[in-house]
Amino acid sequence: MKIGILAAGITPDVLQVNYPSYADMFVQQLTYIEPTLAFEIYDVRLDEFPQSAASCDGWLITGSKCNSYDDDPWILRLCDFIREIDSNKQTLVGICFGHQIIARALGGTVIKSPAGWGVGVHHYQVTSDIPTLPGATDIAFCAFHQDQVIEKPKKLNVFLRSDFCEFAGFIYQDRILTFQGHPEFSKEYESDLVELYAGVTLTPEIADKARITIKEENIQNKQLMSWIAHFLKNKPQSSDM
């Protein structure tokens, strides 16, 4: 099965010596979990788009430092492409920016949140079943965002929430799965990202709090990445009927 990765962002330059790009993080981790998946990467920031949604069997949109509510030509084109994927009833996964842009494209609202930056390890309440974490009511994984969805599309159901982020995870049947946080991030990468932006975009207080959570909290990123791999592998069986 061929999965198209719509790369909306890239690992900061100074971290590329030790870490892969965001798109390659997914390729490496998902291939390890599910070797039958093949990937094609499209740098949509540079207006590199597939000919059509039919070019791949399923799709994944990465995180980005860009704002999903902006009207840059490539962002508007990505919204159109998301709607094409949805119309085709193909599988679609969105991470952080991907979560937000999918919500926007399907009728939701995204803003720069007055709650400020959410970084470090965040805990989320699980409001519907996660197949790779049966029975879980609380999960934790890395987050790094300031923007948030404040109005969800009608068709998407919430499966993760927290006091900081009301709409932290969306799902629609077996076709759309999104996370505001970053299940692809290791704690090592999250730590280096915090150090990179501490005192720049992150206040000392926010950075210190993030450091504590990274040191003390366990994360369930492996189970979430396993869910993403299986979600992408399985062709949708449901319809909108």
- Whether the Cβ atoms of residue 128 and residue 103 lie closer than 8 Å to each other: no
Q: What is the Cα–Cα distance from 199 to 194, expressed in whole angstroms?
A: 10
Q: What is the Cα–Cα distance from 160 to 49, expressed in whole angstroms?
A: 30
Q: Which two tokens stand for residue 192?
A: 């280096």
Q: What is the Cα–Cα distance from 94 to 83, expressed in whole angstroms?
A: 13
As annotated, the active-site residues are: 96, 182, 184
Q: Which two tokens stand for residue 95?
A: 């991470």
Which class for 103: exposed (0-12), middle (13-18), buried (19 or more C-beta within 10 A)? buried
- Count of C-beta atoms within a 10 Å radius of residue 1: 15
Partners of 41 in the beta sheet?
5
Q: How far apart are the first and last CA of the chain?
A: 26
Which secondary structure element, helix H or strand E, spans residue 111, and what is its range?
strand 109-112
Q: What is the Cα–Cα distance from 7 to 184, expressed in whole angstroms?
A: 14
